[in-house]
Amino acid sequence: MNAPNPTPAVLPPRVQSLLAATTLCALTGLAVWFVAAGGLGGGLVHHDAPPPATARFTVNVNAAGAAELAQLPGLGPATAQRIIDHRLTHGPFTSLDGLLDVPGIGPATLARMRPHLRPIPGREEAP
């Protein structure tokens, strides 16, 4: 009579090798991701102190409403409404420099607004 096998194999040896190779690939992938994300030296963001958001927005001056225009630097609700009134009276702006014709907008105000204004299609804008 043969003695029973005291420790039967849970997985066949071939499956064990495949499982070990898969685990090694997964761990290698995680290590590569961790290094690409900045590792211990940076890149990862602490959840209690995230960096300030720097969202950049742009506005189409010929289609924007008063609420959108009022968010531009140097503009308030009154100047935003003057832009809309000028647009309704004289038609759409043909260039961003046409905003200088709106009362209350000078070269300094236009310079602050310019990074947030979309170029007018069909016209080349001078920087």
Please indicate, yes or no, if residue 88 is contained in any of the structural domains.
Answer: yes
Predicted pLDDT of residue 54: 73
| Residue 59: inside a domain | no
Measured CA to CA, the distance from residue 87 to residue 18 in angstroms comes to 70
Do the domain assignments include residue 81? yes
Domain-located, residue 15: yes
Residue 110 is inside which H or E element, if any? helix 107-113
Which pLDDT score is estimated for 10?
80
Each residue's pLDDT tens digit, 35-74: 887 777 766 666 777 777 776 788 999 999 999 999 998 8
User: What is the residue-averaged pLDDT of the chain?
Assistant: 84
Helix-strand-coil percent breakdown of the chain, rounded to 5? 45, 0, 55
Instruction: Based on the fold, state whether residues 37 and 73 are members of the same structural domain.
Output: no
Tokens 């690409």 label which residue?
Answer: 36
Residue 16 has pLDDT above 80, yes or no: yes
Q: What is the pTM of this model?
A: 0.55
The count of domains in the chain is: 2
Question: Does 5 map to a domain?
Answer: no
Is 35 a member of any domain?
yes
Q: Which tops the pLDDT comparison, 60 or 7?
A: 60
Question: Which residue in 84, 121, 124, 118 sits closest to 104, CA to CA?
Answer: 84
Question: What are the backbone dihedrals phi and psi of residue 73, each rounded to the nearest 5 degrees, phi first?
Answer: -60, 130
- Percent with pLDDT over 70 in the chain: 82
Work out the percent of the chain whose per-residue pLDDT is above 90.
52
The pLDDT value recorded for residue 4 is 64
Q: Find the CATH number of the domain harbouring 80.
A: 1.10.150.320
d(CA 107, CA 109): 6
Determine the structural domain holding residue 83 and report its residue range: 66-116
* 43: Cβ contacts below 8 Å, ≥ 6 apart: 37
A 10 A CB-CB count for 93 gives: 20
Say yes or no: 71 and 40 in one domain.
no
Would you say 70 and 101 are in contact if contact means Cβ atoms under 8 Å apart?
A: no
Mean pLDDT of 61-88: 92
Does some domain include residue 122?
Answer: no
Residue 97 pLDDT greater than 70, yes or no: yes
pLDDT per residue as tens digits for the range 18-34? 999 999 999 999 999 88
